[in-house]
Amino acid sequence: MRLPTAAITAGSLIGGWQLARRTGNRPLGGVVLAAGGVLAGREWARSTSPAITAALAATYVGAFGLSHPLAKRIGAWPSVLTVSALTAAASYVASDRRSLR
């Protein structure tokens, strides 16, 4: 059974941030982020080409990096929701749309 990577990426970005924020333990949030990346990456590797897998992985990592400076401009919640939505959309278009049918 295929897992929807759009949900994995959005959920792990939001969940990792919330866990780090609520516990004060940033490495714990990083574990959630890494686990989501590994799980999504495994699904991308199964259903797409190596180039698309690499591009989606870069998008996921880049979203995490972008969320920090973006949060300074628009706030933490809007930033995390924005990068999560963009990452989920990229995952859906490049992987899930074709493989979840």
Give domain limits for the chain.
5-99
Q: How many CB atoms lie within 10 A of CB 72?
A: 9
Whole-number Å distance between alpha carbons of 79 and 72: 9
Tell me the pTM.
0.92
Alpha helices in 1-96 (DSSP H): 5-23, 26-47, 50-74, 76-91
Write down the pLDDT at residue 2. Answer: 80
Consecutive 10-residue runs of the chain (101 residues): their mean pLDDT?
91 97 96 97 95 98 96 97 98 88 62
